Amino acid sequence: MNGLEYLDRIAVALGKLPGIGRRSAERMAYRLASDTDGVMRELEQALREAQESIRLCSLCGGITTVAEMPCRLCSHSSRDASMVCVVQDPSDIVAIERTGAYKGRYHALMGILSPMHGEGPGDLRLQALLKRVETEGFSEVIMALGTDVESEATGNYIAELLKKYPVRVTRLASGIPVGSGVMYSDSVTLSRAMKGRQTLG
């Protein structure tokens, strides 16, 4: 394998990350290859340590460590156990936590329904959500998904699944720009949207 092939493998791997296109991935790969500041070594060490230490919470799907399972947000007694906030990805949990406007539990779906990308109900953590609703006795399920068509469809689909349970299903109030997602919203907008949530369906 020659040098360009190694660079191509790095670029392909980086290109799998969200928000990084082919050109950006190639620039990053070339920067790492011409590294004189030890960035590649730092990155390698950080990735190795993260691989050994970071896990997804067995309950909410958020980021935690091997030593904290389930995570603090799921196990801390100060959290409101009567409500669960359903989000697309773990990064959305971080965004909502920054607002300080929500003190309940979370559940990351790890995606949204997207027939165009081949993601159906079986690809999401829906069964885990239904099990939690049954066993944890939530009185409210908050849909904190994006405002694009696929996110709206996902929220409506989950609301239908939850009709057989004695829970109130709500969604964030308007304020998140149409076509956007939770992780791209500022703290003030998210805080207002959380406080002004509305019944779904």
Residue 15 domain-assigned (yes or no):
yes
Asked whether residue 188 carries a pLDDT value surpassing 70, the answer given is no
pLDDT tens digits along 141-158: 999 998 888 999 999 999
C-alpha closest to that of 186 among 150, 194, 72: 194
Residue 22 domain-assigned (yes or no):
yes
Residue 66 domain-assigned (yes or no):
no
Choice between 187 and 133, residue whose per-residue pLDDT is larger = 133
The total domain count for the chain is: 2
- Return the CATH number at 117: 3.40.1360.10
Rounded Cα distance, 66 and 52, in Å: 8
User: Does residue 178 share a domain with residue 125?
Assistant: yes
What pLDDT is attached to residue 177?
A: 59
Choice between 35 and 91, residue whose per-residue pLDDT is larger = 91
Asked whether residue 178 carries a pLDDT value surpassing 60, the answer given is no
User: Does residue 192 share a domain with residue 109?
Assistant: yes
Q: Find the domain containing 17 and state its range.
A: 3-52
User: Does residue 184 share a domain with residue 96?
Assistant: yes
- Return the CATH number at 41: 1.10.8.420
User: Does residue 174 share a domain with residue 85?
Assistant: yes
Domain boundary among 18, 37, 52: 52
Residue 137 domain-assigned (yes or no):
yes
What pLDDT is attached to residue 153?
A: 93
Peptide bond between residue 90 and the one before it cis (omega within 30 degrees of 0): no
pLDDT tens digits along 22-52: 999 999 999 988 887 888 899 999 999 999 9
User: Does residue 112 share a domain with residue 23?
Assistant: no
Strands, E, within 12-115: which ranges? Answer: 54-56, 63-65, 80-87, 104-108
User: Does residue 85 share a domain with residue 120?
Assistant: yes
Rounded Cα distance, 42 and 172, in Å: 39
The residues, any chain, with a CB within 8 Å of residue 125's CB and separated by 6 or more, are 61, 107, 108, 109, 110
**CA separation, residue 118 to residues 111, 112, 123 (Å):** 11, 10, 9
If you compute the radius of gyration of the chain from its CA atoms, what whole number of angstroms results? 19
pLDDT band at 111, cuts 50/70/90? very high
User: Does residue 45 share a domain with residue 115?
Assistant: no
Rounded Cα distance, 110 and 68, in Å: 20
User: Does residue 96 share a domain with residue 38?
Assistant: no
User: Does residue 186 share a domain with residue 95?
Assistant: yes
User: Does residue 194 share a domain with residue 139?
Assistant: yes
**57 with 69: CB under 8 angstroms?**
yes
Instruction: List the beta bridge partners of residue 85.
Output: 106, 142
pLDDT band at 166, cuts 50/70/90? very high
| Mean pLDDT, the chain, integer | 89
- Residue type for 68, please? E
User: Does residue 42 share a domain with residue 117?
Assistant: no
User: Does residue 47 share a domain with residue 84?
Assistant: no
